[in-house]
Amino acid sequence: LKKHSETHKGKKIHQCRHCDFKTSDPFVLSGHILSVHTKDLPFKCKRCKRGFRQQMELKKHMKTHSGRKVYQCQYCEYSTTDASGFKRHVISIHTKDYPHRCEYCKKGFRRPSEK
């Protein structure tokens, strides 16, 4: 964690004006604001009329109509069609196996000495 935190040194931290979310990437902040704090849902599914904040969310959703299995996180808005990526997400973000969190990007680590 200590070594990983060093990768953020010198980077400007962008704080969400609506909540405690922080990131070193202004594009990540923009995506966060759109996906979490914007009520407008401009991207509509033509098959079921469900609305989405971002085109990427609509693309993920479209896979549900293709017959491919979609893994939806029960703790956040993350979803994927990749089983191993889904498992990696849940373990690294939502379990206590990774209790040491980077203060900048919230990535989890098992030990403070981990990269």
The domain defined by 71-114 folds into Double Stranded RNA Binding Domain (3.30.160)
Same topology for domains 1-63 and 71-114, yes or no? yes
Q: Which of 7, 15, 22 is nearest to 106 (CA)?
A: 22
* Residue at 80: amino acid letter: T
**Residue extents of the structural domains in the chain:** 1-63, 71-114
User: E strands along 30-93, which residues?
Assistant: 43-44, 51-52, 71-72, 79-80
**What is the CATH architecture of 1-63?**
2-Layer Sandwich (3.30)
> Per residue in 64-104, pLDDT tens?
777 777 788 887 777 777 888 888 888 777 777 777 777 77
Considering the entire predicted model, what is its pTM? 0.34
